[in-house]
């Protein structure tokens, strides 16, 4: 297999199945302000700072001092790397670069010898168009330039400006480059797309990215394991509500997924918190993913029942991941969930709520099914038991907001609340529990000062209540 080199961006490396191929030419194209230069500088910085691969940055427009300032925003100390002979930043003209590379012992060769450079950024290739107006001559110029640099053992990244209608100078550059990556914006959100790779596979499609404190972060689809559904031999997991455990014939199987549906105010979040606290008491760390509520509001709800969520959070027994659906990209949220699960130790996960989290793809049933399937397999693959809360519209008669999660979940439980005269009667029903001899029909439920209680009739006699 040809040697791959990390780009310095984990998500992009996953899209490229390991990184750029060593010794190839990569074209980064996009409109001004889309992140081309930042991505290129991040590639150079990562090589020099983390992978012992010195780099060169050749710019035709920006002065080195300007690049230093912009890089410093992400914690990249380019002057320090230059002082350590791991980097050279040069502002020159396209003509000077062309003439230098045609010589047998150019200043570019001096830079390579002084630093041992293996990576090069040219910002931007578009300026070469000014050297000749003849498209054929331009093509020969670009091919000659890139080949000369690759022959010197460099992996070359070059940027190119693209106009709002897709117009660009050097339109043939995409054919000449080995890899072409487009960066842009759609509906105010940034994306990155690999349009072409030569000699390697890549993940197709547009992938969201953002500027973070350490540079660009890219969010490809999560890598989900092909984990089988829990079998009858898997250990039972208590839901934290004894009556519900009874309805489920002892609880959930380890690694199972439970879809919990209900209208607003039926007790879904309360049951989710009980589920997590039960796990913490049993030495099973939990993860609470919030897309609608805030951590503070959930902590207040828990405190009204005498439950302290702050303590297990401080002790590292409970992680809370907040991602408001109105402002958070779903791909980024899935990436962050995957990161939390990969850290190991998480045994229970609550998604509150699934309907809010999937709002971004609510228009596309196939994407809804795909995302739910990814979440189920992600949690199952880590051996975590998951509870998916689904907010239902009043009087809908549904068990999930979008009607796609039921076939994918191992169990489906519905919470109901109806008015009877001057009182409100609550109910709970297990609609489905794969491989479990669950109790059929609706049972009474109450929200008490100690949390949710479920009533049931085991065989005959008086109605039973939770212990």
Give a yes or no: residue 466 inside a domain.
Answer: no
162 and 208 housed in the same domain: yes
200 and 122 housed in the same domain: yes
Name every residue whose Cβ is closer than 8 Å to that of residue 370 and which is 6 or more positions away in sequence. none
Q: How far apart are CA 200 and CA 193, in angstroms?
A: 15
Cβ 380 vs Cβ 229: under 8 Å = yes
181 and 100 housed in the same domain: yes
Closest by alpha carbon to 431, among 461, 374, 390?
A: 390
> Which residue reads 């402002």 in tokens?
327
Confidence of residue 6 (pLDDT cuts 50, 70, 90): very high
Cα 6 to Cα 11, 43, 119, distances in angstroms: 10, 8, 11
Confidence of residue 184 (pLDDT cuts 50, 70, 90): very high
442 and 294 housed in the same domain: yes
Cβ 271 vs Cβ 260: under 8 Å = yes
Q: Which tokens sit at 188?
A: 């105010």
Give a yes or no: residue 229 inside a domain.
Answer: no
Structure confidence by residue, pLDDT tens digits, 65-119: 999 999 999 999 999 999 999 999 999 999 988 888 876 678 888 989 999 999 9
Which DSSP string do the residues of 19-35 spell out, in sequence order?
Answer: SEETT-EEEEEESTTSS
Q: How far apart are CA 38 and CA 43, in angstroms?
A: 9
Q: What is the pTM of this model?
A: 0.86
What is the DSSP secondary structure assignment for residue 358, as one 8-state letter? Answer: T
Domain containing 164 — which CATH number? 3.40.50.300
Asked whether residue 168 carries a pLDDT value surpassing 80, the answer given is no
- Looking at the structure of the chain, the number of domains it has is 2
202 and 250 housed in the same domain: no
257 and 292 housed in the same domain: yes
Asked whether residue 156 carries a pLDDT value surpassing 60, the answer given is yes
Cβ 417 vs Cβ 265: under 8 Å = yes
259 and 211 housed in the same domain: no
310 and 447 housed in the same domain: yes
210 and 262 housed in the same domain: no
244 and 373 housed in the same domain: yes
21 and 154 housed in the same domain: yes
- Alpha-carbon radius of gyration of the chain: 28
Cβ 103 vs Cβ 97: under 8 Å = no
Q: Which of 175-189, 225-239, 343-357 has the lowest mean pLDDT?
A: 225-239
Alpha-carbon torsion (423, 459, 428, 399), positive or negative: negative
204 and 294 housed in the same domain: no
Q: Could you tell me whether strands 119-123 and 55-59 are parallel, antiparallel, or unpaired per DSSP bridges?
A: parallel
Q: How far apart are CA 249 and CA 237, in angstroms?
A: 11
Domain range for 169: 4-218
């Amino acid at each position: 297999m040809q040697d791959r080199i990390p780009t310095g961006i984990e998500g992009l490396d996953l899209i490229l199945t390991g990184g750029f191929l060593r010794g190839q030419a990569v074209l980064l194209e996009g409109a001004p302000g889309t992140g081309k230069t930042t991505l290129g500088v991040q590639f150079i910085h990562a090589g020099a700072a983390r992978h012992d691969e010195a780099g060169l940055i050749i710019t035709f427009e920006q002065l080195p001092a300007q690049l230093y300032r912009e890089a410093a925003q992400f914690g990249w100390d380019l002057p320090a790397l230059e002082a350590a002979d791991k980097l050279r930043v040069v502002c020159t003209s396209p003509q000077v670069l062309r003439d230098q590379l045609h010589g047998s012992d150019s200043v570019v060769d001096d830079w390579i010898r002084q630093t041992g450079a293996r990576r090069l950024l040219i910002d931007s290739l578009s300026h070469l168009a000014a050297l000749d107006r003849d498209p054929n001559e331009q093509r020969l110029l670009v091919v000659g330039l890139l080949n000369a640099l690759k022959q010197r053992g460099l992996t070359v990244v070059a940027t190119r400006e693209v106009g709002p209608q897709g117009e660009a100078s050097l339109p043939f550059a995409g054919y000449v480059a080995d890899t072409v990556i487009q960066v842009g914006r759609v509906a105010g959100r940034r994306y990155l797309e690999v349009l072409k790779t030569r000699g390697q596979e890549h993940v197709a499609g547009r992938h969201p990215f953002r500027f973070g404190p350490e540079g660009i972060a890219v969010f490809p689809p999560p890598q989900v394991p092909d984990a089988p559904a829990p079998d009858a031999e898997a250990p039972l997991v208590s839901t934290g509500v004894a009556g519900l455990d009874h309805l489920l014939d002892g609880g959930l199987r380890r690694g199972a997924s439970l879809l919990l549906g209900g209208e607003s105010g039926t007790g879904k979040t309360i049951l989710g918190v009980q589920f997590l606290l039960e796990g913490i008491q049993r030495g099973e760390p939990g993860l609470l993913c919030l897309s609608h509520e805030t951590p503070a509001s959930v902590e207040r709800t828990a405190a009204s029942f005498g439950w302290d969520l702050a303590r297990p959070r401080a002790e590292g027994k409970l992680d809370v991941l907040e991602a408001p659906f109105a402002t958070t990209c779903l791909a980024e949220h899935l990436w962050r969930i995957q990161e939390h699960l990969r850290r190991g130790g998480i045994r229970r996960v609550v998604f509150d709520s699934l309907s809010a989290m999937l709002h971004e793809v609510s228009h596309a049933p196939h994407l809804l099914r795909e995302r739910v399937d990814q979440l189920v397999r992600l949690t199952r693959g880590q051996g975590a038991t998951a509870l998916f809360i689904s907010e239902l519209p009043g009087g809908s008669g549904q068990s999930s907001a979008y009607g796609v999660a039921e076939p994918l979940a191992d169990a489906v439980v519905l919470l109901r609340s109806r008015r009877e005269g001057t009182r409100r009667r609550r109910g709970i029903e297990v609609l489905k529990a794969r491989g479990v001899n669950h109790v059929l029909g609706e049972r009474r439920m109450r929200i008490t000062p100690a949390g949710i209680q479920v009533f049931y009739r085991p065989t005959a006699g008086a109605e039973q209540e939770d212990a």
